[in-house]
């Protein structure tokens, strides 16, 4: 008898995705090729705001190799609607600003698509773009969301009377009293700047209509193929079985690929109209002006504390730059609003949130989705308070963190779906204690003084975070054992590099023989699963993982029951080992495939044990509450006060994402998130001038962290199982990014404490730091 | 401007000789991907910064998005498809990437592997700093680079042991 395979769940098993990627055999959307395929290029607005008179496409259409030039006027007969109606529900909108499929009368941000050229090659299509003549009448522009609320401010949309697209309050407790009775009050204004997602694969779409079956297949580099399919069916007035959407290998998502974009429906409509496959691949310059962005927020906040440094209340306001359209909903600002007080005991809270339109690329979630900004604000307030009261930064946090004995801890705030925020599990003070001990927090002061004596400024920072993960309500998974014994797993979960297929295979293999090689996973294909959402909000291990577990358990039970009839023994005597069901302690066995074939039935004969036909199960576990991951980060930096350059020299994170399905993948997700956060803290700045013209549209101007800027990162895993799902898992995809800008800035302030530098923003550039150091020196001289 | 000029070129890709009539403005990346259907080489920025499109030209790393196909005339090109043999186990560097989670979405990985192939050809035992400097022309948004550096160090050990 062969050795039983080891369990797969909880082990750092290698990924099933890797071999194809390492051999150059993966299939990303731009790798698809069809014999008669055409290529598309989009004409995009060079103005941040303009009225459009005429669009003359005749010269472009006449260029040899051009097959069609389409504007909204040409597409309208093919579509049920002129706009993409994608906004999630909320009573807090003041008006709707749905994106047009293609702009016709008005453009409201640089990069907005106006027309598409479809030609024999992308080269020819781009030649033709230069021949399209658009009659623009430039209109006043608003680039800064702080000015956009001024009654005399230019209007982002000419027909909409003001720029306040939505507003809401998030409040509980008696903040007035908290501030009246406070022994200490600190306040500050904070600014977080926008960046892009910058998945290394840009977006892309290929659409192909099969006239024989009248079926349209759309391959899209999307995080949400099932959502895209529903929208395409609505817009093109087609039945759901006549449109298949597939996310092939996706080269990173990081949020914006969850959004449905104009290009997806335009390419699909063009393929239908022209009767030929059409491909559009976003280039990087397009990515800078057409893929959604995030993080522009302005906060004005105050914290009240008692004499011992216990938080009594927090109040303030948040101005959130929404961009030019509602491309997803109010969710980023909602997440920011509830995240501020989450890790701590905050008896009273009042936040006035305003979402403001600007003539810039629409804002939707990027890894972290509003949570890094809120964490930055909370942790800055705590650092200010520690300084004012004369407490150690770690001690003030220790006094205020939610304690393990409070779990589960309900907060008097609601998620967007209406259920209360409940921190489900974890020991936040212990995570902070662990990371401080490992980082040598107590001994750092001596190291810092020693370095300063050498003329080096080193600093240490601390930040805690809580991340809402596992957004419900469900994500289906089907597990089927085929007649050849192979285990086929299908899910609407969508892989964009996180190892989702490996995760699902591990959960299923754990129940069904332990052989990862025997599991084949299909993810992100609407033909395999017609319900579901896809990948966002750190949700797939929680939601799809739970469904995969439930389905695999059902299939296991059925396989064993069927085998017990076939082998004439008790179910308890059976176990699944590899691809066989064995009678424990004997050499009697039956193949999984044989059981599956038996359950396929023979016409005229009873199935064994009167079991239902087939060896498969589909499960869609429903969870409404979110599983909250958490952690404590410490970073060390060295700041060169002559150049303003910051080197991150060490990074530690004690984090808790509940039970880990694959520790290797967890490490990868967390470290990748930390890199994104370091990039947000120090490098990524998506600039716009006062006319909302983008100033950074290539990687010479927009900096991303590279290997030489990354510190060694040490992770400490804590595993407090979530009580919300059978597996005990919490999401991990966004956790690394959330505390990172906060902890880096805290460390920079610590390194520069002799200059009394307060950094109220991220990113902070070397020039910004030199100005702050200078200001500190001048204050010194003034005293 | 006349975009219609075409030239006959001959180049070797992964040991196979190709004769191609190419538009003079066609990039090497597009020749490899769309004409020779070697889609393992990926295009991440088309302005020479991200490194995803890196291939080896006569043994030296080059950005195939910044090089014209006609400039590859008479040259020997190696792409990701040439760094392993179909049906055979992964080579030590690729295996180390798998073992150490040196890739996630894998889109940047071909350019990183070709870059590292050159590094390890020049320096059989690079330090961590040397590895990071070699990688600094390749942007990876997923991994934070730590798994990549660990993979290279492990591969160096494996190669030195004669694996």
The reported pLDDT for the residue numbered A4 is 53
A781 touches chain B (CB under 8 A): no
The reported pLDDT for the residue numbered A220 is 98
% of chain A at pLDDT higher than 70:
99
B101 touches chain A (CB under 8 A): yes
Instruction: Provide the shortest C-alpha distance from residue B26 to chain A (in Å).
Output: 8
The reported pLDDT for the residue numbered A417 is 85
What would the pLDDT profile of A650-665 be if each residue is shown by its tens digit?
999 999 999 999 999 9
Minimum mean pLDDT range among A104-118, A405-419, B46-60: A405-419
Q: How far apart are CA A257 and CA A535, in angstroms?
A: 9
Q: What is the 3-state secondary structure (H, E, C) of A745-780?
A: HHHHHHHCHHHCCCCCEECCCHHHHHHHHHHHHHHH
Run of H or E residues at A500: helix A500-511
Specify whether the CB–CB gap between A362 and A325 falls below 8 A: yes
Query: Do B42 and A19 make contact, defined as CB atoms within 8 angstroms?
Result: no
Q: Chain A residue with minimal CA distance to B52?
A: A200
Does position B162 have pLDDT exceeding 90, yes or no?
Answer: no
The reported pLDDT for the residue numbered B1 is 44
Q: Chain B residue with minimal CA distance to A714?
A: B146
Sheet holding A519-523, edge to edge: A519-523, A487-491, A477-481, A616-619
Instruction: Provide the shortest C-alpha distance from residue A93 to chain B (in Å).
Output: 34
Mean pLDDT of A538-550: 95
The reported pLDDT for the residue numbered B2 is 52
What would the pLDDT profile of A363-406 be if each residue is shown by its tens digit?
999 999 999 999 999 999 999 999 999 999 999 999 999 999 99
The reported pLDDT for the residue numbered A551 is 98
The reported pLDDT for the residue numbered A469 is 93
Mean pLDDT of A405-422: 93
Specify whether the CB–CB gap between B28 and B55 falls below 8 A: yes
The reported pLDDT for the residue numbered A73 is 97
Q: Which residues pair with A488 in a beta bridge?
A: A480, A520
Which of these, A621, A662, A616, lies nearest to A487 by C-alpha position? Answer: A616
Q: Average pLDDT of chain A?
A: 96
The reported pLDDT for the residue numbered A413 is 95
The reported pLDDT for the residue numbered A6 is 67
Which of these, A264, A263, A274, lies nearest to A243 by C-alpha position? Answer: A264
Instruction: Provide the shortest C-alpha distance from residue B5 to chain A (in Å).
Output: 13
Mean pLDDT of B54-75: 97
Mean pLDDT of A545-552: 97
Question: What is the band of A1 on the pLDDT scale with cuts at 50, 70, 90?
Answer: very low
A708 touches chain B (CB under 8 A): yes
| Cα separation values, A162 from A59, A95, A331, B83, Å | 39, 10, 21, 58
Q: Average pLDDT of chain B?
A: 95
The reported pLDDT for the residue numbered A418 is 87
A382 three-class SS: helix
The reported pLDDT for the residue numbered A781 is 82
What would the pLDDT profile of A461-489 be if each residue is shown by its tens digit?
999 999 999 999 999 999 999 999 999 99
Q: How far apart are CA A369 and CA A258, in angstroms?
A: 12
ipTM of the complex: 0.97
Of B40, B110, B142, the CB nearest to A672: B142
* Residues 6+ away with beta carbon under 8 Å from A93: A87, A165, A166, A326, A330
What would the pLDDT profile of A152-167 be if each residue is shown by its tens digit?
999 999 999 999 999 9
Does position A42 have pLDDT exceeding 70, yes or no?
Answer: yes
The reported pLDDT for the residue numbered A416 is 86
Mean pLDDT of A703-725: 96
A254 touches chain B (CB under 8 A): yes
Q: How far apart are CA A214 and CA A217, in angstroms?
A: 10
Does position A595 have pLDDT exceeding 50, yes or no?
Answer: yes
What would the pLDDT profile of A221-249 be if each residue is shown by its tens digit?
999 999 999 999 999 999 999 999 999 99
Does position A97 have pLDDT exceeding 60, yes or no?
Answer: yes
Mean pLDDT of A250-262: 97
Instruction: Provide the shortest C-alpha distance from residue B25 to chain A (in Å).
Output: 9
A167 touches chain B (CB under 8 A): no
B139 touches chain A (CB under 8 A): yes
Which of these, B71, B32, B85, B89, lies nearest to B55 by C-alpha position? Answer: B32
Exposed/middle/buried for residue A387 (C-beta within 10 Å: 0-12, 13-18, 19+): middle
The reported pLDDT for the residue numbered A2 is 43
What would the pLDDT profile of A302-324 be if each residue is shown by its tens digit?
999 999 999 999 999 999 999 99
Does position A3 have pLDDT exceeding 80, yes or no?
Answer: no
A201 touches chain B (CB under 8 A): yes
Whether pTM exceeds 0.95:
yes
């Amino acid at each position: 008898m062969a050795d039983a395979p080891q369990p797969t769940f909880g082990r750092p098993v290698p990924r099933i995705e890797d071999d194809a990627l390492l051999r150059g055999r993966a299939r990303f959307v731009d790798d698809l090729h069809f014999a008669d395929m055409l290529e598309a290029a989009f004409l995009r607005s060079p103005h941040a705001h303009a009225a459009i008179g005429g669009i003359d496409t005749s010269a472009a259409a006449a260029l040899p190799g051009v097959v069609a030039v389409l504007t909204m006027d040409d597409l309208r007969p093919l579509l049920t609607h002129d706009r993409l109606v994608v906004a999630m529900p909320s009573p807090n909108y003041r008006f709707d600003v749905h994106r047009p499929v293609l702009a016709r009368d008005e453009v409201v941000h640089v990069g907005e698509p106006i027309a598409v050229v479809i030609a024999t090659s992308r080269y020819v299509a781009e030649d033709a773009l230069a021949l399209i003549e658009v009659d623009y009448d430039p209109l006043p522009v608003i680039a800064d969301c702080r000015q956009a609320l001024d009654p005399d401010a230019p209007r982002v949309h000419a027909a909409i009377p003001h720029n306040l697209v939505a507003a809401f309050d998030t409040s509980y407790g008696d903040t007035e009293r908290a501030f009246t009775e406070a022994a200490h009050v600190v306040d500050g204004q904070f600014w977080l700047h926008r960046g892009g997602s910058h998945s290394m694969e840009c977006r892309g779409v290929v659409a192909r209509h099969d006239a024989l079956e009248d079926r349209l297949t759309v391959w899209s580099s999307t995080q949400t193929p099932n959502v895209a399919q529903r929208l395409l069916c609505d817009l093109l007035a087609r039945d759901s079985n006549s449109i298949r959407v597939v996310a092939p290998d996706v080269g990173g998502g990081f949020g914006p690929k969850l959004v449905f974009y104009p290009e997806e429906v335009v390419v699909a409509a063009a393929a239908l109209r022209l009767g030929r496959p059409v491909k559009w691949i976003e280039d990087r310059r397009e990515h800078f002006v057409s893929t959604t962005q995030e993080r522009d927020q302005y906060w004005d906040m105050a914290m009240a504390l008692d004499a011992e440094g216990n938080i009594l209340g927090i109040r303030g306001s948040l101005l959130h730059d929404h961009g030019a359209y509602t491309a997803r909903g109010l969710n980023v600002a909602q997440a920011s609003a509830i995240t501020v007080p989450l890790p701590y005991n905050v008896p009273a809270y009042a936040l006035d949130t305003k979402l403001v339109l600007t003539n810039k690329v629409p804002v939707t979630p990027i890894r972290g989705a509003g949570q890094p900004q809120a964490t930055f604000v909370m942790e800055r307030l705590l650092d200010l308070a520690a300084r004012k009261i004369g407490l150690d930064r770690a001690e003030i946090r220790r006094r205020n963190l939610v304690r393990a004995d409070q779990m589960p801890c309900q907060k008097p705030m609601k998620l967007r779906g209406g259920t209360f925020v409940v921190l489900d599990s974890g020991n936040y003070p212990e995570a902070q204690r662990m990371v401080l001990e490992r980082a040598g927090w107590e001994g750092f002061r001596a190291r810092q003084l020693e370095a300063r004596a050498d003329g080096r400024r080193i600093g240490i920072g601390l930040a805690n975070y809580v991340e809402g993960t596992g957004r419900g309500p469900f994500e289906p998974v089907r597990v089927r054992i085929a007649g050849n014994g192979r285990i086929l797993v299908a899910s609407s979960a969508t892989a964009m590099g996180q190892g989702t297929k490996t995760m699902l295979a591990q959960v299923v293999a754990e129940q069904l023989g332990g052989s990862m090689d025997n599991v084949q996973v299909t993810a992100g294909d609407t033909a395999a699963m017609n319900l579901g959402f896809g990948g966002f909000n750190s949700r797939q291990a929680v939601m799809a993982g739970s469904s995969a577990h439930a389905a695999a358990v059902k299939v296991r039970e059925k396989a064993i029951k069927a085998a017990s009839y076939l082998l004439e023994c008790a179910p308890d005597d059976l176990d699944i080992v590899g691809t066989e069901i064995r009678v424990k302690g004997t050499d009697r066995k039956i193949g999984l495939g044989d059981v599956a074939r038996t359950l396929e039935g023979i016409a005229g004969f009873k199935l064994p044990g009167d079991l239902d036909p087939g060896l498969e199960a589909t499960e869609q576990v429903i969870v409404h509450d979110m599983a909250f991951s958490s952690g404590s980060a410490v970073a060390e930096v060295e700041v060169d006060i002559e150049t303003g350059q910051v080197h991150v020299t060490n990074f530690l994170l004690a984090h808790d994402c509940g039970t880990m399905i694959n520790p290797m993948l967890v490490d990868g997700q967390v470290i990748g998130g930390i890199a994104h956060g370091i990039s947000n803290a120090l490098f990524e700045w998506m600039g716009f001038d006062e006319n909302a013209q983008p100033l950074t549209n290539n990687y010479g101007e927009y900096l991303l962290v590279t290997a030489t800027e990354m510190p060694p990162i040490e992770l400490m895993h804590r595993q407090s199982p979530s009580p919300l799902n059978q597996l005990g898992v919490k999401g991990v995809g966004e956790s690394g990014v959330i505390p990172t800008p906060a902890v880096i800035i805290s460390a920079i302030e610590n390194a520069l404490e002799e200059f009394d530098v307060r950094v109220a923003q991220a990113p902070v550039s070397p020039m910004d730091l030199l100005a702050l150091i200078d200001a500190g020196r001048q204050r010194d001289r003034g005293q | 401007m006349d975009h219609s000029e075409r030239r006959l070129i001959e180049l070797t890709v992964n040991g196979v000789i190709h004769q191609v009539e190419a538009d003079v403005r066609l990039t090497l990346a597009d020749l490899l991907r769309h004409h020779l259907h070697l889609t393992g080489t990926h295009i991440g920025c088309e302005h020479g910064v991200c490194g995803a499109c890196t291939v080896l030209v006569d043994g030296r790393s080059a950005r195939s998005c910044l090089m014209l196909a006609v400039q590859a005339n008479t040259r020997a090109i190696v792409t990701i498809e040439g760094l392993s043999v179909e049906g055979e186990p992964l080579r030590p560097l690729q295996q180390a990437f798998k073992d150490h989670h040196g890739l996630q979405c894998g889109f940047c990985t071909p350019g990183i592997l070709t870059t590292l192939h050159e590094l390890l050809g020049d320096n059989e035992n690079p330090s961590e700093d040397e590895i990071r400097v070699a990688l600094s022309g390749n942007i990876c948004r997923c991994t934070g680079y730590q798994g990549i550096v660990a993979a290279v160090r492990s591969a160096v050990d494996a190669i030195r042991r004669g694996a």
